Amino acid sequence: MSQAEKIDPFDVALEQLRITAELLQLDSGIYEILKQPRRSLTVSIPVQMDDGTVTAFTGHRVQYNDARGPCKGGIRYHPGVTLGEVKALAAWMTWKCAVMDIPFGGGKGGVVCDPKNMSIREKEKMTRKYASLLHDFIGPYRDVPAPDVYTDPQTMAWIADTYSQRVGHMVPEVITGKPLSIGGSEGRSTSTARGCVFCIREAAELLRIPMKGASVVVQGFGNAGANAALIISEMGAKVVAASDSRGAVYSNEGINAQELVNHKAQTGSVVGFKGSKEISDEELLGLDCEILIPAALENVITAKNASNIKAKIISEAANGPTTPEADKILVEKKALLIPDILANAGGVMVSYLEWVQNLQKEHWTETNVNERLEDNMVASFKEVWTTSKNNDVSMRNAALMVGVGRVAEAIKTLGLWP
């Protein structure tokens, strides 16, 4: 979908930064620094495929800013990956970690590939080669990767192993989102979704929308979207529609989230779920519902479709799903949009807890992790809400003011050397 719109996500990130610089009356030198990533690395990753031929995949890793701590952010495997996209995602990670007030800067990685059409063996080879090429670029105090679209705990395990073999001992703290058996954190796999649902719950309370019976539309039924559907259903809300890259399904009666997860596990898609009606992606976005969760890729809610959206709360589990033009339309419609750098920050929040556990050689219980996640999400939500009210700006602009403001303060305090 991001490809169809042909909007460079980095242009979106820069436009958001421009608006924020104006709101904060940011020092022009700091604005200049924040317009570019600190470092970008592009590598060619040759892999011998199962049929014997060699494919050279292009991979990127961008370290946007590290004034507040080591760069932090996921690695994405997708045919649509571009350097512009990775730069945007790395900028958003920088603001996101600052909104959560965790001691990380922002980074992101991506490999241009089609993981759905690769064997496990091909994916392992590509991952290990990519990790090896990144070896001197990443590190527990330099840049700590994590999962993103179409990468998972197994991918993280291959990277941890490749990195550690060169160091000579296991270094679990070089990466987060690992399997539990090698130092992963309890609660990490559901954390993005859980954090997103905590934000929705807080917003619903402020808008006096009861969670019980609230209708929910989930655009993108991957890790974040599917878990959000499960968690929000546990709170009594009613999932009425969901989509993935193959299509969208709808049922006015409500969709059992667990059964939909099982259906997708068996068939590879939400399409064909029993008792549901197939609808188009555009119909899905325009459904009459209380809550819309965009949980797929960038540039899904645009100037073309934003005016059709009827949801009262939009919570961005994905990064960059809404363009700046669409933002304006949603503000006019008085929809409450919880922006990505807050709504999906639960993932990196628990990544931070994983990193801390690894450094301290500890393993915390799921209850402990989820409680810390909830406390931090609620605190950040409240801070952004208050900033939004005090400055009479949207939640997006308020979150950017908090995030960019903290990064700017760190840069100012460190000073320019020499």
| The one-letter amino acid at 192 | T
Segment interacting with ligand GLU (CB under 6 A) among 66-74, 386-394, 397-405, 407-415: 66-74
Is 125 in contact with 155 (CB distance < 8 Å)?
no
Q: Which is nearer to ligand GLU, 76 or 263 (CB)?
A: 76
Rounded CA separation 21/405 (Å): 9
Peptide bond into 418 cis (omega under 30): yes
| DSSP line for 27-49 | -HHHHHHHTS-SEEEEEEEEEE-
Check binding of 148 to ligand GLU (CB under 6 A): yes
Segment interacting with ligand GLU (CB under 6 A) among 27-35, 124-132, 285-293, 343-351: 343-351
Give backbone dihedrals phi and psi of 72, rounded to 5 degrees, phi first. -145, 135
Least distance CB 340 / ligand GLU (angstroms):
8
Least distance CB 87 / ligand GLU (angstroms):
14
Q: Which is nearer to ligand GLU, 177 or 321 (CB)?
A: 177
Of residues 281 through 320, those in contact with ligand GLU by CB under 6 A are 319
Of residues 235 through 254, those in contact with ligand GLU by CB under 6 A are none
# residues near ligand GLU by CB under 6 A:
12
Q: Which of 20, 94, 176, 185 binds ligand GLU (CB under 6 A)?
A: 176
Residues 6+ apart with CB under 8 A from 143: 61, 63, 66, 70, 71, 72, 107, 137
Instruction: Measure the N-to-C terminal CA separation of the chain; round to a whole number of Å.
Output: 45
Rounded CA separation 28/24 (Å): 11
Segment interacting with ligand GLU (CB under 6 A) among 63-71, 258-266, 344-352, 377-385: 344-352
Which stretches of the chain bind ligand GLU, using CB under 6 A?
Answer: 72-74, 146, 148, 176-177, 319, 344, 347-348, 351
